[in-house]
Amino acid sequence: MQSIPNWLKQRAMLTPHREALTYGEQSWTFLELQQKSEQYAQRIVRFLLNKNAVVAVLLKNRPHAVWIIHALQQLKVQTVFLNKQLTSEELTFQLKDSQAALLICENEFEVILEELEKKTLRVVTVADLNGMSQQPIDKREMFALDDVCSIMYTSGTTGKPKGVLQTYGNHWWSAVGSVLNLGLNEKDTWLCTMPLFHISGLSILIRSVVYGMPVYLMEQFDEKKVNQLLQTGKITIMSVVSTMVQRMLTDLGEKNYAPALRCLLLGGGPAPKPLLEACKSKGIPIFQTYGMTETASQIVTLSPEDSLKKLGSAGKPLFPAQIRIISEEGTAGAHTVGEIMVKGPNVTKGYLNRPDANKASFQNGWFLTGDIGSIDEEGYLYVLDRRSDLIISGGENIYPAEIEEVLIAHDAIAEAGVAGVEDPEWGKVPYGFVVSNETVSEAELLSFCRDKLAKYKVPKRIFFVKTLPKTASNKLLRRELTALIPS
Amino acid sequence: MQSIPNWLKQRAMLTPHREALTYGEQSWTFLELQQKSEQYAQRIVRFLLNKNAVVAVLLKNRPHAVWIIHALQQLKVQTVFLNKQLTSEELTFQLKDSQAALLICENEFEVILEELEKKTLRVVTVADLNGMSQQPIDKREMFALDDVCSIMYTSGTTGKPKGVLQTYGNHWWSAVGSVLNLGLNEKDTWLCTMPLFHISGLSILIRSVVYGMPVYLMEQFDEKKVNQLLQTGKITIMSVVSTMVQRMLTDLGEKNYAPALRCLLLGGGPAPKPLLEACKSKGIPIFQTYGMTETASQIVTLSPEDSLKKLGSAGKPLFPAQIRIISEEGTAGAHTVGEIMVKGPNVTKGYLNRPDANKASFQNGWFLTGDIGSIDEEGYLYVLDRRSDLIISGGENIYPAEIEEVLIAHDAIAEAGVAGVEDPEWGKVPYGFVVSNETVSEAELLSFCRDKLAKYKVPKRIFFVKTLPKTASNKLLRRELTALIPS
């Protein structure tokens, strides 16, 4: 089995005095990161009765989260990353499903945890941990690439959430694939406002130790703070989703970012073209990308030379990866819409204890993403939608993203979401949900859509709402839109 | 077995229109590189009767060499790289030892080849190949990392040359390890004046396709041409050995290089400190490195922040690799001199058909380099010498490089080499061989050495010679020095 040196230990040995982490006014070098992580490992070790234990974390984007995440890798445990927006029922499911033996959580979450069944689970807060004495631990020299490093739950299209197994190798190859596309400069600093319990956040921490690159960590996304920071020249790369960029542009107004900013890496689903065009017209280096929990972040990304030329495409696969479109007739040719399949060493080896889902998701070493897209004759991927959001209406396929793009193009509309609603005549019909920033009537919007969309794609109703439902990483939750329909 | 997409095909798909190769006034994109290589593959395929065939190449640094090297990878053959300075006897040995079925050579080498036994070997010149028709070939989708890509012969300390097996994985991990140390900028262009039949040259071609980075190829090193080029700003990285840098500095005089030049990667043995200091004083970004055919080029390299701070050290291991010093007492502590051992996925899996050498060279997954060095308390490697050059005199160890450094520090001396000569009293004693650039006497040099070296290290004799014996990649051949002693 292929292995690499323990990445934290190796990085701290190679470039001990290089900056590793910045949080507000404080900074830590890679040597300090290693020391802090080792201290946490020496406190956590008392709870680990068996090797290959599973430990869950329920943490915010704070420095101790970074140290604890690395500490758990030093202890060779599999870390379950819990989303802080989950209900206690959802948390209970994930803790039981993963058979976690320990849960480490922020002090303020303790109250939630009292509701959790604790019989088979130890719960410890960060404050508790900080007060504990340290015990010596075995130093881990190597990371076997096939060992599971992290487990993150995804909802999938139906049924209970599934635990995605992410190996050290998945993370390693993801980091390597990204560097071969984006390059690596001495001045690179990656801004992380994505939650660390999502792959978009965790992958930044791993790139940091693999590349020897500082991470600027923020507890949460705040467009004003981000915009100020991006004007200083301290940040060169930032991971974003569409709604974040939308808010950043609105706040930015006539100002612009420092030239040091070389990449806004845009993930989390298809991006509205007007947004991409707004970035292009301001010269903001936005790179669309496509990835998911199962691919340990990006697997398809635009290259620097294409970032502003190929607006609307998610790009080409990272160097170690491959993509393919399959339709009912098999592998699809250029421009044919079908399901996106991916392959590569960054792709998960499967879901925890879900033989059926694993059987359904893999085919000859290829992973079926469930997402819909096409590849053009040059090899660029266009992601049309997540399959679960597909609206089939009178036998026609409707992709919500296409309608949302039209709605957002209207001057009065800040954000839009579209979902299918049961209809006796057509099976499903699209409904629109919009956040407006000036007065506009439903009739006017419908007329605007009729100008731009085939008749069957025009929403049957459009509702004005204050906010759209989103995940913690700011992805639109289309399946929750219909709950916004006034009763 | 881990595999990655065929690196040439993947690169041509990802960035088809990016520049891949420049030679004189001509340039080719990655798409053109792939097309040229495919054309050669379609001509060569007629000679390949069995799968996993071995094909030898005897080529100069010319564009068709690049295409043929990639063509052979497309055909999944193992390529034996022959040194163009070899005698026909030496060539015959390597061709027989590797059981090569075909030899592709430059037109001008045909005359040498007539001397070779051709019974079991087909020989074809580049001109022959160019005139042949093309046959369809099976496209190779993936490269299995464990498959042998190239075979290069090394002389070792004693006995016949041994064929070093370099896998696709060795080359891949070498390229990845280097990018994590040196970074990768959009404007990077690597100047290759090292022979492509050496790992120092071949590894540049592989980095080119893995990184999507252009290579500027020169048929041979010429300090005047190189200096002109490095002043234009077109080159950002260049691989060099000490003697090349020495000649470049002499020619450069008061001028300096364009700021775009960010790395002179200095391999090929311990570097004289005066040379490193001369570079430092001119602000030339010289990065010492340590590697060998068995490690698919660099395995230890200085990082950008240390390149001018840690003069004299070869640096720290590349990210996926590890180093260790062993002395007779086992693994040595900081500053203790011993044999350098290396480990990592870029290290060869062994020598072709040499079970004894393989047994002697590997120990628990570590490769014994035969070279002598020490590691300081921060993890920096200092290479003292190649073990085969070690002079043991009266029980004391003498490292030629240390004496050469002293000789070169004398104003009158341009180049120096030191080797051990049999001595009835002391076992061996060091002899010096120098190229002088102004008049100086042997007595004066000996007196200069006595000022700087322990008595047993002072050469017994110093001879003035016109040139020093060197390998094709300009490494000093210490074992041939004693042939220069006047009879």
Interface of A with B in 12-31 (CB under 8 A): 13-16, 18
Question: Nearest C-alpha of chain A: how many angstroms from B242?
Answer: 25
Interface touch B210/A180, C-beta < 8 Å: yes
Min Cα separation A201/chain B (Å) = 21
DSSP per-residue codes, A341-399: EEESTTS-S-BTT-HHHHHHHEETTEEEEEEEEEE-TTS-EEEEEEGGG-EEETTEEE-
Q: Nearest to residue A264, comparing CAs of A247, A232, A289?
A: A289
Strand partners, A165: A151
Q: What angle is formed at CA A261 by the lines to CA A260 and CA A265, rounded to 5 degrees?
A: 155
Nearest to B442 by CA among B420, B410, B469: B410
Q: Report pLDDT for B401.
A: 81
Mutate to test the interface with B, among A4, A8, A187 (most CBs of B within 10 A): A4
**The predicted structure's pLDDT at residue A4:** 97
Quick check: B386 pLDDT over 90? no
Of the pLDDT bands very low, low, confident and very high (cuts 50, 70, 90), residue A380 is very high
- Considering the four listed CATH numbers 3.20.20.120, 3.40.50.12780, 3.40.50.2300, 1.25.40.340, the one that applies to the domain covering A3-144 is 3.40.50.12780
Check if the beta carbon of residue A325 is closer than 8 Å to that of residue A357.
no
Does the beta carbon of B324 lie under 8 angstroms from any beta carbon of chain A? no
**B281 burial via Cβ count (<10 Å: 0-12, 13-18, 19+):** exposed
Residue B164 vs residue A371, higher pLDDT: B164
% of chain A beyond a pLDDT of 90: 71
**Residues B307-323: pLDDT tens digits?**
778 888 999 999 999 99
Query: Could you tell me how many CB contacts below 8 A there are between chain A and chain B?
Result: 76
Per-residue model confidence (pLDDT) at position A50? 75
Q: How many residues does chain A have?
A: 487
Q: Is B377 on the interface with A (CB under 8 A)?
A: no
Cα–Cα distances in Å, from B412 out to A259, A366, B407, B452?
50, 66, 9, 16
Cβ atoms of B444 and B436 closer than 8 Å: no
The confidence score (pLDDT) of residue A158 equals 42
Report the C-alpha gap between A92 and A433 in whole angstroms: 32
Q: Do domains B3-144 and B169-387 have the same CATH topology?
A: yes
Q: Which of B54, B294, B369, B7 is nearest to B168 (CA)?
A: B7
The kind and range of the H/E element at B102 are strand B102-105
Using alpha carbons, select from A232, A312, A221 the residue that is nearest to residue A266. Answer: A312
- Binning pLDDT at 50, 70 and 90, where does residue B398 land? confident
> Quick one: average pLDDT of B259-280?
88
pLDDT for A157: 42
Instruction: Taking residues B18-47, report their average pLDDT.
Output: 97
Helix (DSSP H) and strand (DSSP E) numbers for chain B: 14, 28
Range of lowest pLDDT (A65-69, A136-140, A236-240, A370-374): A370-374
Residues in chain B: 487
Judged by a CB distance cut-off of 8 A, whether residue B345 touches chain A is yes
Residue corresponding to tokens 């994930």: A94
Q: If you count DSSP H runs as helices and E runs as strands, how many of each does chain A have, helices first?
A: 14, 28
The pLDDT score that the predictor gives to residue A283 is: 92
* Residue A453 near residue A403 (C-beta atoms within 8 A): yes
Question: Do B163 and B181 form a contact (C-beta atoms < 8 A)?
Answer: no
pLDDT of B209 above 60: yes
Q: How far apart are CA B367 and CA B370, in angstroms?
A: 9
Q: Bridge partners of A256?
A: none
Chain A residues touching residue B317 (CB < 8 angstroms): 14
CA distances from B235 to A290, A312, B17, B100, B188 (A): 34, 34, 19, 37, 7
A2: contact with B, CB 8 A cutoff: yes
What number of CA atoms fall less than 13 Å from residue B46's CA on the CB side? 13
CA distance A214 to chain B (A): 14
Dump the DSSP string for A172-210.
HHHHHHHHHHH-B-TT--EEE-S-TTSHHHHHHHHHHHH
How far apart, in whole angstroms, are the C-alpha atoms of residue A282 and residue B375?
51
Give Cβ neighbours of residue A376 (< 8 Å, ≥ 6 apart): A313, A334, A335, A382
Among A179-183, A264-268, B112-116, B425-429, the least confident range: B112-116
Per-residue pLDDT tens over the stretch A136-161: 999 999 999 999 999 999 864 445 78
Cα B277 to Cα B288: distance, rounded to the nearest angstrom: 12
And the tokens for B469?
């014996």
CATH class label, B169-387: alpha beta
| pLDDT tens digits, A294-332 | 999 999 999 877 877 888 899 999 999 999 999 878 888
pLDDT band at A445 (very low <50, low <70, confident <90, very high): very high
Q: Give the whole-number percent of chain B exceeding pLDDT 70.
A: 95
Return the pLDDT at B299: 97
The pLDDT of residue A314 is: 94
Which residues of chain B lie closer than 8 angstroms to A345, CB-CB?
2, 4
Task: Take residue B235 and report the two structure tokens written for it.
Answer: 């080159």
What mean pLDDT, rounded, does chain B reach?
91
- The secondary structure of residue B342, as a DSSP letter, is E
* Residue of B2, B14, B379 with shortest CB distance to A316: B14
Q: What sign for the dihedral angle of Cα A280, A282, A287, A290?
A: negative
To which CATH superfamily is domain B390-484 assigned? Answer: ANL, C-terminal domain (3.30.300.30)
User: CA nearest A302: which of A310, B392, A132?
Assistant: A310
Burial grade of A238 (CB within 10 A; 0-12, 13-18, 19 or more): buried
Contact by Cβ (8 Å): B412, B438? yes
Write out chain A residues lying below 8 Å of B15, CB-based: 303, 305
Q: Which of A180, A208, A323, A347 to mutate to test the interface with B (most CBs of B within 10 A)?
A: A180
The pair of structure tokens assigned to A113 is 């945890």
ipTM of the complex: 0.85
Residues forming beta bridges with residue A241, ordered by sequence position? A267
CA-nearest residue to A315 within chain B is B14
Write down the domain spans for chain A: 3-144, 169-387, 390-484
Higher pLDDT, B52 or A149: A149
Amino acid identity, position A461: R
Indicate the residue of B5, B211, B316 with minimum beta-carbon distance to A322. B5
Output the average pLDDT for chain A.
91
How far is the C-alpha of A323 from the C-alpha of A412, rounded, in Å? 38
Contact between A269 and A312 under an 8 Å Cβ cutoff? The reply is: no
Read off the tokens for B408: 């070169």
Q: Which residues of B touch A13 (CB under 8 A)?
A: 316, 379
Q: Distance (Å, rounded) from C-alpha B20 to C-alpha B26?
A: 11
Of B434, B430, B382, nearest in space to B408 by CA = B434
Sequential DSSP letters for A293-338: GGGTEEEEE--GGGTTTSTT--BEE-TT-EEEEEETTEE--TT--E
Question: Residues B137-176: pLDDT tens digits?
Answer: 999 999 999 999 999 998 644 457 899 999 999 999 999 9
Token digits of residue B314: 């070869």
For residue B51, the model assigns a pLDDT of: 72
- CA-based nearest distance A13→chain B, Å: 7
pLDDT tens for B63-120 read 999 999 999 999 999 999 998 877 777 788 899 999 999 999 998 887 666 666 666 7
- Listing DSSP states for B267-292 in one string gives ESSPPPHHHHHHHHHHT--EEEEEEE
Percent of chain B exceeding pLDDT 90 equals: 71
In chain B, what are the helix, strand and coil shares in percent, each to the nearest 5?
35, 30, 35
Q: How far apart are CA A126 and CA A106, in angstroms?
A: 6
What does the pLDDT read at residue A226? 98
Three-class SS state of A267: strand
| Other beta carbons within 10 Å of B303 | 20
- Letter for the amino acid at A217? L
Which pLDDT tens digit goes with each residue over A89-122? 778 889 999 999 999 999 888 766 666 666 678 8
Could you give the angle at which helices A242-252 and A273-282 cross, rounded to 10 degrees?
Answer: 40
Residue A4: how many CA atoms within 13 Å on its side-chain side? 26
